[in-house]
Amino acid sequence: MAATVFYLDPLPDVGGTAVLDGKEGRHAATVRRIRVGERILLSDGHGRIAETVVTAAERDRLEMAVETRSDVPRPTPSVGVVQALPKADRSELAVELATEAGIDSIVPWQSSRCVAKWEGAKADKGVARWQAVATAAAKQSRRPFVPEVAPLHTNSAVVALARGVVERGGIVAVLHEAASVPFSSLSFREVPEVLLVVGPEGGLTDSEVAALTDVGATPVMLGPTVLRTSTAAAVALGALGVMTNRWAQTPLDFQATR
Residues of the chain with pLDDT > 70, as a percent, come to 95
d(CA 69, CA 234): 30
Q: Kindly state the average pLDDT of the residues 119-142.
A: 93
Which residues 6+ apart lie within 8 Å of 146 measured at CB?
7, 45, 46, 134, 135, 138
In the structure, what pLDDT confidence band is assigned to residue 257 with cuts at 50, 70 and 90?
A: very low
User: What's the chain's average pLDDT?
Assistant: 91
Contact 52, 66 (CB under 8 A): yes
Domain parsing of the chain, residue ranges: 5-71, 78-243
Q: Could you say which DSSP state residue 221 is in? A: B
Q: 58-78 pLDDT, tens per residue?
A: 988 999 999 999 998 888 999
Helix (H, G, I), strand (E, B) or coil at 142: coil
3-state secondary structure of 83: strand
* Domain at 5-71, CATH from 3.30.70.580, 2.60.120.260, 3.40.30.10, 2.40.240.20: 2.40.240.20
- 148 Cβ contact partners less than 8 Å away, ≥ 6 residues apart: 105, 106, 131
Could you give phi then psi for residue 161, rounded to 5 degrees? -60, -45
CB atoms within 10 A of CB 189: 11
The pLDDT assigned to 253 comes to 54
Confidence of residue 217 (pLDDT cuts 50, 70, 90): very high
> Residue 110's closest CA among 74, 85, 87, 93?
85
The CATH H-level superfamily of 78-243 is SPOUT methyltransferase, trefoil knot domain (3.40.1280.10)
